[in-house]
A and B are shown apart, each in its own frame.
Chain A
């Protein structure tokens, strides 16, 4: 078994299993915590609608906060949207998923992919600089913050390395070199293994957290 076979085989399935089981463990551990009944007379019983409203409402800041948070929010959007476009919209990635699951969807145009890569690199770079220089972020940050940043940018770097090696080849291009592809895949697998244990889980926890507060606020008739 060569490195690419390992990355495409045991490493991939192990990382997916760790990701799913880890997330399931983390979410179930939260949901297993006791919840006391709330006997107060609700102002509204539409708590599910309140949860959904909060999930949507907190996608952007209230007007009054925008002045102080505009740039950081814009940056967060840049690398979140960028990452999503790169991960789900790049044709080789879609092919990869199709081989595994049979599912496929249209790829994003090349110019949008390049733009998304650029936005993600700039956004993540800016996020790191902010974390290292902003006194509030410096104070709050720990291993999880920096490691999560590292495992997020690593697949981008290794992916760009694969592309750049392909660009260097004389036309017509030969198949991609196996080792860089294997390293790219392994970097993604590292992200999957880390996801349930660190802050990257916010991709899932965001719905739970916003939902809880949304339901509680709706019960009181408070603004989300």
Chain B
């Protein structure tokens, strides 16, 4: 072929495009026809499209502001990480099935029907690249709670068997064994016995009656057992009648994170039944963000009526006992930066509690530029930390957190979520970061004053 322009020759040999579209990566659970998967997803989608979801799905003005609040978009600049775009199949399903003009959309095919291929592609957006942190919900000029819609859309993905496999596997294990990390009732009882012996603390197990039922996350049980010891010392110091229960000790809820509402309910009811069985007035949740959402804000709905006991995150429990004088703390003459777990602070409304505790410890609190309700997520929430293929993206999100914490120049960094802590530990190892994320609970336990 001859070139007609010798001055500006056309290069016909090189590849036309330097950027190739990456292959879509997704996992599938089970073997079944695509039509079945699609039908299951659509059924679950429609079940979730209640009044609030309908309001939100009708209200989006496509302003794109939500992208500016999302760590995955801010760090990559890739428009597909725009939070509301992650809901496109959910929105599409709504418009065609239950929206006010659904008949028109269907008749004129104004919104295409959702396909299995689309759901497969969206798996990355609904799971790998969304920590359900809800920061996007804080910027939306229409006030759309995008994070709540993502959780609902995950129900359809789970029903279709289209969940990232690692997240699915830990959820399935949690449902089957009672813990996502192998902390079965027997393992839990053994570890409690071991910790009680080694650290000489009382860790009462399965008391028939107690004022307070204490729960843990499997991350604490298996990875941060010092948290169990710290909790025991604090409850002993405050003089409570308390217990642990082999019937209900695991506060993490991978049913919620993976999108299986039935498993979420099962996991919730174990805690509810255990608290009722011992007549607890208070159930204390561990340093775990999503456990707070699952039980504090969704638990009663699984139970079908108000819970007959109070549910407190450990940071709220500590704050209450600092304020009522049952916890007496010695001063910690250091500067400290606090990482707000999204589900406890922004989504849970408990921003003040850890700050009450930190004030009682006398630390010099150095807030990150964005903190409290507007703080950045660590990048590992919503089950993202379990999905290994999401690691590179998660590390990008983590960079924001590192730089904001570094900018404080604080001597200590603490949080009140084991999942965040795990994400920080992983990020620390990956980046060779100088800081180690500590636990608010452990800091309090180490500074109890007689």
Question: What is the bound-complex CA distance between A202 and B59, given in angstroms?
Answer: 6
Q: A69-B139, A76-B141 are in contact. List 15 more A-B contacts (CB 8 A).
A: A39-B306, A40-B297, A58-B140, A64-B370, A136-B79, A139-B85, A202-B142, A205-B59, A211-B143, A212-B56, A220-B297, A221-B349, A221-B350, A222-B373, A223-B372
**Shortest beta-carbon distance, A111 to chain B, in Å?**
30
Once the chains bind, are A39 and B300 in contact (CB under 8 Å)?
yes
Once the chains bind, are B347 and A222 in contact (CB under 8 Å)?
yes
Task: Mark B32-67 against chain A: 1 for CB-CB distance below 8 A, else 0.
Answer: 000000000000000001111111101111111101
Question: What is the bound-complex CA distance between A199 and B60, given in angstroms?
Answer: 8
Q: Which residues of A contact B (CB under 8 A)?
A: 25-26, 29-31, 33-41, 43, 54-55, 58, 61-62, 64-65, 68-69, 72, 76, 134-143, 145, 197, 199, 201-202, 205-206, 208-214, 216-217, 220-223
Once the chains bind, are A139 and B347 in contact (CB under 8 Å)?
no
Interface size class of B (residues with CB under 8 A): 35 or more
Once the chains bind, are B64 and A35 in contact (CB under 8 Å)?
no
Whether a CB of chain A sits under 8 angstroms from the CB of B303 is yes
The chain B residue sitting closest to A131, CB to CB, is B62
Give the tally of cross-chain contacts (CB within 8 A): 164
**Shortest beta-carbon distance, B320 to chain A, in Å?**
13
B346: chain A residues within 8 A (beta carbon): 222-223
5 contacts between A and B (CB under 8 A): A33-B49, A39-B304, A41-B310, A55-B143, A135-B79
Q: Which residues of B contact A (CB under 8 A)?
A: 49-56, 58-65, 67-69, 73-74, 77, 79-80, 82, 84-85, 98-101, 110, 137-145, 296-301, 303-307, 310-311, 346-351, 369-370, 372-374
Pick from A29, A137, A216, A222: contact of B52, CB below 8 A: A216
The chain A residue sitting closest to B140, CB to CB, is A58
Once the chains bind, are A202 and B101 in contact (CB under 8 Å)?
no
Once the chains bind, are A209 and B59 in contact (CB under 8 Å)?
yes
Once the chains bind, are B307 and A41 in contact (CB under 8 Å)?
yes
Pick from B65, B98, B145, B374: contact of A216, CB below 8 A: B145
A208: chain B residues within 8 A (beta carbon): 55, 59
The chain B residue sitting closest to A143, CB to CB, is B110
A197: chain B residues within 8 A (beta carbon): 101
With A58-B140, A136-B67 already in contact, the answer to whether A40 and B349 are too (CB < 8 A) is no
Once the chains bind, are A33 and B139 in contact (CB under 8 Å)?
no
Question: What is the bound-complex CA distance between A134 and B67, given in angstroms?
Answer: 12
Question: What is the bound-complex CA distance between A206 and B62, given in angstroms?
Answer: 13
A41: chain B residues within 8 A (beta carbon): 300, 306-307, 310-311
With A40-B297, A141-B62 already in contact, the answer to whether A26 and B84 are too (CB < 8 A) is no
Pick from B68, B73, B373: contact of A69, CB below 8 A: B68
B350: chain A residues within 8 A (beta carbon): 221
Question: What is the bound-complex CA distance between A210 and B144, given in angstroms?
Answer: 7
With A137-B64, A209-B143 already in contact, the answer to whether A39 and B305 are too (CB < 8 A) is yes
With A25-B100, A136-B79, A205-B142 already in contact, the answer to whether A223 and B351 are too (CB < 8 A) is yes
Once the chains bind, are A212 and B370 in contact (CB under 8 Å)?
no
B82: chain A residues within 8 A (beta carbon): 136, 139-140
